[in-house]
Amino acid sequence: MVKRIKIGKFEVGEGTFCLLAGPCVIEDELTLFKTAEFLKEITSYEDIPFVFKSSFDKANRTSIQSYRGPGLKKGLKLLAKVKEKFNLPIITDIHCVSQVKDISEVVDIIQIPAFLCRQTDLLLKSAQTGIPLNIKKGQFLSPWEVKNIIEKAVSAGNSNIIITERGTSFGYNTLVTDFRALPIMRGFGYPVFYDATHSVQEPGKLGGASGGNREFVPYLAKAAVATGCDGIFMEVHPNPEKALSDGPNMLKLTDLKKLLKQLKEIHYATNTK
């Protein structure tokens, strides 16, 4: 049995289907609000619990020239405006212990990036807030190693934990998804989400930036829901071709409506006894 975690007015866990989505990084207020408004409209129509995601800083970009975001203070201010204007729960990435206090005053879920998932001090300090954590499984980890990460957070008194699968390193510039990881990690008793957009990323493929294959996002998302997960994480954008971060693997907003309906139907079919 998978634990249920309360996020705002709804729960995620055993028998639920939730969406965590938004643009990879905060580019400007117009794009942020346009995306949030669209996502709220379609998730409300489909009655899908939804958490809005965007990053104020992408601290692990491939190149020093890459756009990182507006920074902590400006970024959190914009996310707080999204939360108030659209009445949406918010999730964003954290990168260091010094950010915990400021982030915890705005978000409903703190996201631990994949590359930082084993950083003990960051996990402990984030967990001590009592705010739910979405811990992204590192590309370098096996699913059974995630148990150690969970134990770190729980040791700090926080069992409100979501684990997100985002693919595993498979040679240079390539990720692969082993769908066995979803039931293995759910076996630890906590909700598991599937990151359908980072799983098609090609890290560093373009030399100064990462590549990706967004055409495979719908296939992997549907496979994950059919395998059994408690929600889908994906990054979306009005115009991925012009996005300032992760454009090649982000899904276009207008392609999301049909996919969400299909995912909801698959979830219903696989969870009806």
Using pLDDT thresholds of 50, 70 and 90, give the confidence band for residue 240.
Answer: very high
Look at residue 3 and tell me if it is in a domain: no
Structural domain contains residue 7 = no
Q: At residue 273, does pLDDT exceed 60?
A: no
Tokens for 155?
């040791």
**Mean local confidence (pLDDT), 253-267:** 96
Label residue 156 by pLDDT band (50, 70, 90).
very high
Q: What is the pLDDT of residues 109-134, one digit of tens each?
A: 999 999 999 999 999 999 999 999 99
Please give the pLDDT value at position 164.
98
Return all residues near 219 (Cβ < 8 A) that are at least 6 apart: none
Ramachandran class of 189: left when φ > 0, alpha when ψ lies in -120 to 50, beta otherwise: left
pLDDT at 34 over 60: yes
Q: Above 70 in pLDDT, residue 154?
A: yes
Tell me what percent of the residues of the chain surpass a pLDDT of 70: 99
Question: What would the two tokens of residue 260 be?
Answer: 């969400």
Average pLDDT (255-268) is 96
Burial of 232 (0-12, 13-18, 19+ CB in 10 A): buried
What is the number of structural domains in the chain?
1
Does residue 265 belong to any structural domain of this protein? no
Return the ∠ at Cα 193 (arms to 6 and 16), rounded to 5°: 50
Strand positions, DSSP E, the chain: 5-7, 10-12, 18-22, 50-53, 90-93, 109-112, 133-136, 161-165, 168-169, 175-176, 192-195, 201-202, 211-212, 231-237, 251-252
Asked whether residue 249 is domain-assigned, the answer is yes
Return the closest-CA partner of residue 63 out of 237, 261, 207: 207
The closest alpha carbon to 23, from 34, 13, 11, belongs to 34
Are the CB atoms for 26 and 75 separated by under 8 Å?
yes
Dump pLDDT digits (tens) for 53-98: 999 998 887 888 889 999 999 999 999 999 999 999 999 999 999 9
Domain that includes residue 103, residue range? 16-258
- Over residues 96-109, mean pLDDT: 98
pLDDT-derived band at 203, boundaries 50, 70, 90: confident
Q: Is residue 5 part of a domain?
A: no
- What's the CATH code of the domain at 215? 3.20.20.70
Give the HSE-up count for residue 225: Cα atoms under 13 Å, Cβ half-sphere: 26
What's the confidence (pLDDT) of residue 61? Answer: 78
Position 35 in a domain: yes
The pLDDT of residue 272 is 64
Residue 217's nearest CA partner among 231, 233, 238, 196 is: 196
Alpha-carbon span 182 to 192, nearest angstrom: 7
Is 176 inside any structural domain?
yes
CA distances from 54 to 28, 177, 250 (A): 11, 23, 12
Averaged pLDDT, 189-208: 88
Q: Provide, rounded to the nearest whole percent, the portion of the chain with pLDDT above 90.
A: 85
In a domain, 93, yes or no: yes
